[in-house]
Amino acid sequence: MSSSPRRGTQLLKDLIRSHQGPLTRELVRKPGRFGLGQVPMDQLPDSVATVVCGFCSTGCGLKAHLRNGEAVGLSPEANYPVNRGMACPKGWEALSPLDADDRATRPLLRDDSGNLAEVDWDTAMRTFVERIKQVQDRSGPASAAFLGTGQMPTEELAFLGSLAKFGMGMVHGDGNTRQCMATAVQAYKQSFGFDAPPYTYSDFEESDVIVLVGSNLCIAHPIMWERICRNTRNPDVIVVDPRRTETAVAATMHIPIRPKSDLPFFYGLARILIERDAIDKAFIQKHVDHYPEFAAFVKDYTPELVFEESGIPESTLETLAEKIETGGRVSFWWTMGVNQSHEGVRVAQAIINLALITGQIGKPGTGANSITGQCNAMGSRLFSNTTGLLGGRDFQSDSDRADVSRMLDIPVESIPAENSLAYDEIIEGIRSGRIRALWIVATNTAHSWINQSDFKRLREKLDFLVVQDMYDSTETAQLADLVLPAAGWGEKDGTFINSERRFGRIRKLRRAPGEALSDFQIFRLIAHYWGCESLFERWKTPEDVFDSMRELSAGRPCDFTGIDGYQALDAEGGIQWPLSEAEAARGPIGQERRLFADGAFFHPNQRARLCFEPHRAPEEKPNAAFPFIFMTGRGSSAQWHTETRTKKSAVLRSLAPAETFVEINPRDAIEAGFVDGREVTLRSRRGHMTARVRITGVVPVGSVFVAMHDAMTNRLTYPAFDPFSRQPSYKHCAVAIEPTDA
């Protein structure tokens, strides 16, 4: 085992110097040796290969059609248990973004004139190491931080987090999962004792009452909606959402609560369920803590209070309560409308509480089920080594650090004993001078971060910004001092974990352009140049990391020691965790399974907890100067996040709106004198953007909606954060609207 890089800087520099030339030359000349994927191109089958889609968390199986070992087309995999022959437009078009003209093909370094200029990998690696070490030497190891993404395979996330923290001495690292799922993570941890979405997709088909909260499933997760459409039980589908979305229109009941009034609404619903005695007392007694306190707490949430806060009358609450009481199998589902909130954790738990007090969990067609956003947010949650130690462990736990040290054969002193700052705290750390260098991998902070202008200003305070991405044109890459060209989905190997906890395979189907390398191999290179490669000697291929993660999962709630490598995933069409070795031996391993069938949760006493606290109004409220509530969300099924990939497909562009629209209610439009299609300027206290008016009853009076994909949208958003999850509240701030030419 090598000594810590911090203690042997000169020795490490000598090693780096002696190795870097030959390694780099060989890397460029013989890329296969350092793995542009561990499967040589000439050994790929010349037929079809199944991979999991690299956009959303549904995790659809796609059949890649190969010619001469390279993918030339994709189609939905009929036998994959997730999508059963269906895919949304993004899945069909997933290869197109790989062919884009703005792929990053060589490292870029900002030169003395301020321009990004091509350099070789050797120069890029030397610069990376020297500049980050300079910052760390000057301001301490923790002054360099990283941001990753739920778009990378689990193996790369584990490598990134391990390299940065165990090898490079970083303490702080987070990822864009913070923008998407942090709320669900915290809610589950507090309520169940572990971050554990309990469901399986067949619950969509086996429910009698499906309650969707803050989820426009039809366009954000269309294949999950398709699973609902396969439900033969004639289910009631109830949508709780301020907007009359595509999903709300298709539902049997739409409950248009006011924006961010979901907490009093669900507490009021719990009160009525308790009053009606529509609860499962036996389940509560056996499996749930804090029921008496909860029942006393929700007494304050009278129908009058709920109406005042949410605009929903008592009769609607009663109707919903009756459906839950008499409906049979009831499942509750939520996504970003809940997670992206100033009090999202408590809202998610208000939903979890409903499932717990009614005993609607652990059985077919039930559950308190968070729908994940990104294709591998779940992998990021378990193995990114950011705010939690590998495998859902705790950096502050001596025994957890000792476990990881033993299993990975690394010195326990190399594992930080403190928790990472969250994404927003890293950004604040730049402001305060605590963070001086930032390494951003495969996420577009300058576009997607809340109140984005603030990040762009703060970038000037960084001594060094590295961006590792498959495109050098992203808003964030354009701000970088150094750009490292990376392979994308379809150009590398690994696994994703989808919303229902299913591991699925991704593969190298194409060669990455130019000198772009898989993130995995970039991490190997960095480890080499940094001088800490001995820590990661066992990780020569992504599957080596998978094997380590398997070991790390042993005895944990996410135990997947029963998944015997990639070939098992290939054979089964993905496998859900948990699957211990003992369970696998009993078999079968590929069947769908949900959690908590035995009523045993993950707290030490095996009981779930009801978590609750009073509602807080959002910080920024509309007033005379900024009279509208500004909501953001998915624009269409053809668009993904900052559109760095989806905009590259002509097909997807043709399916998405060509311009940015602001949805405005007809009453507000008449009052303001706006006509459909007119260009307007939206202003918040932080910035402004332009959009064309779309007059529609989709949005309630007093609110407007803009899709999140436009690069201007986050100029306006207000940086409020949930206190437990630190997830940003993208869906509520105050704006004014005026004609652009006024």
Q: Which is nearer to ligand SF4, 36 or 224 (CB)?
A: 224
Q: Would you say 98 and 490 are in contact if contact means Cβ atoms under 8 Å apart?
A: yes
* C-alpha span between 555 and 309 (Å, rounded): 45
Give the binding range for ligand SF4 (CB under 6 A) out of 51-59, 203-211, 335-343, 351-359.
51-59
DSSP 8-state assignment for residue 34: G
Q: In what order do the strands lie in the sheet with 236-240?
A: 253-255, 236-240, 209-213, 330-334, 367-370
Give the binding range for ligand SF4 (CB under 6 A) out of 85-93, 164-172, 525-533, 587-595.
85-93
Helix axes 452-459, 423-432, angle to 10 degrees: 40
Least distance in angstroms from the C-beta of 509 to ligand SF4? 15
The shares of helix, strand and coil residues in the chain, as percent rounded to the nearest 5, are 40, 20, 45
DSSP structure string for 470-523: SBS-STTGGG-SEEEEB--TTEEEEEEE-TTSEEEEEEE-SPPSTT-B-HHHHH
Report which residue type is found at 76. Answer: P
Given 23, 56, 211, 664, the residue binding ligand SF4 (CB under 6 A): 56
Sequence-separated (6 or more) residues with CB below 8 Å from residue 491? 36, 37, 98, 508, 509, 510, 511, 512, 516, 518
* C-alpha span between 634 and 640 (Å, rounded): 8
Least distance in angstroms from the C-beta of 441 to ligand SF4? 21
Q: Which is nearer to ligand SF4, 459 or 653 (CB)?
A: 653
Give the binding range for ligand SF4 (CB under 6 A) out of 57-65, 203-211, 253-261, 466-474.
57-65
Given 5, 59, 169, 379, the residue binding ligand SF4 (CB under 6 A): 59
Q: Which is nearer to ligand SF4, 553 or 637 (CB)?
A: 637
Least distance in angstroms from the C-beta of 377 to ligand SF4? 12
Least distance in angstroms from the C-beta of 492 to ligand SF4? 17
Give the binding range for ligand SF4 (CB under 6 A) out of 10-18, 84-92, 163-171, 520-528.
84-92
Sequence-separated (6 or more) residues with CB below 8 Å from residue 431? 458, 461
Q: Which is nearer to ligand SF4, 88 or 348 (CB)?
A: 88
Given 60, 270, 382, 575, the residue binding ligand SF4 (CB under 6 A): 60
Given 20, 44, 55, 515, the residue binding ligand SF4 (CB under 6 A): 55
Q: Which is nearer to ligand SF4, 87 or 209 (CB)?
A: 87
Question: How many other CB atoms are there within 10 angstroms of residue 325's CB atom?
Answer: 16
Touching ligand SF4, residues 329-368 (CB under 6 A):
none
Least distance in angstroms from the C-beta of 640 to ligand SF4? 7
Largest CA distance in the chain: 76
Q: Would you say 370 and 334 are in contact if contact means Cβ atoms under 8 Å apart?
A: yes
Report which residue type is found at 711. Answer: A
Give the binding range for ligand SF4 (CB under 6 A) out of 49-57, 248-256, 263-271, 699-707.
49-57
Least distance in angstroms from the C-beta of 316 to ligand SF4? 31
Across-strand partners of 440?
147, 467
Give the binding range for ligand SF4 (CB under 6 A) out of 42-50, 80-88, 352-360, 709-717.
80-88
Least distance in angstroms from the C-beta of 224 to ligand SF4? 7
| Strand ranges (E), 543-672 | 575-576, 608-609, 628-633, 661-664
Given 12, 53, 257, 631, the residue binding ligand SF4 (CB under 6 A): 53
Across-strand partners of 56?
374
Q: Residue written as tokens 């949430």?
A: 301
DSSP structure string for 142-177: GGEEEEE-TTS-HHHHHHHHHIIIIIS---EEEEGG
Q: Under the criterion CB under 6 A, does residue 506 sit at the interface with ligand SF4?
A: no
Dihedral through CA 282, CA 287, CA 289, CA 291, nearest 10? -20
Give the binding range for ligand SF4 (CB under 6 A) out of 16-24, 82-90, 415-423, 595-603.
82-90
Least distance in angstroms from the C-beta of 527 to ligand SF4? 32
Q: Under the criterion CB under 6 A, does residue 222 sit at the interface with ligand SF4?
A: yes
Q: Tell me the three-class secondary structure of 434-458, residue by residue.
A: CCCEEEEECCCHHHHCCCHHHHHHH
Least distance in angstroms from the C-beta of 498 to ligand SF4? 8
Given 35, 37, 69, 91, the residue binding ligand SF4 (CB under 6 A): 91
Least distance in angstroms from the C-beta of 187 to ligand SF4? 23
Residue nearest to ligand SF4 (CB): 91
Give the binding range for ligand SF4 (CB under 6 A) out of 52-60, 558-566, 570-578, 730-738.
52-60
Task: Kindly state the number of chain residues that form the binding site for ligand SF4, as judged by CB under 6 A.
Answer: 13
Sequence-separated (6 or more) residues with CB below 8 Å from residue 608? 191, 192, 193, 287, 288, 289, 352, 356, 601
> HSE of 188 in the Cβ direction (CA atoms, 13 Å)?
26
Q: Tell me the three-class secondary structure of 368-416, residue by residue.
A: EEECCCECCHHHHHHHCCCCCECCCECCCCHHHHHHHHHHHCCCHHHCC
Q: Which is nearer to ligand SF4, 19 or 84 (CB)?
A: 84
Q: Would you say 259 and 242 are in contact if contact means Cβ atoms under 8 Å apart?
A: yes
Q: Would you say 708 and 641 are in contact if contact means Cβ atoms under 8 Å apart?
A: yes
Q: Which is nearer to ligand SF4, 275 or 592 (CB)?
A: 592
Give the binding range for ligand SF4 (CB under 6 A) out of 50-58, 159-167, 284-292, 613-621.
50-58
Q: Which is nearer to ligand SF4, 55 or 612 (CB)?
A: 55
Given 27, 51, 87, 257, the residue binding ligand SF4 (CB under 6 A): 87
Given 2, 50, 58, 191, the residue binding ligand SF4 (CB under 6 A): 58
Encoded one letter per residue, x for contact with ligand SF4 by CB under 6 A and - for no contact, window 223-262 reads x---------------------------------------
Least distance in angstroms from the C-beta of 51 to ligand SF4? 11
Report which residue type is found at 288. Answer: V
Q: Under the criterion CB under 6 A, does residue 573 sit at the interface with ligand SF4?
A: no
Q: Which is nearer to ligand SF4, 50 or 717 (CB)?
A: 50
Q: Would you say 446 and 454 are in contact if contact means Cβ atoms under 8 Å apart?
A: no
Three-state DSSP at 16 gives helix
Residues that bind ligand SF4 (CB under 6 A): 53, 55-56, 58-60, 83, 87-88, 90-91, 222-223
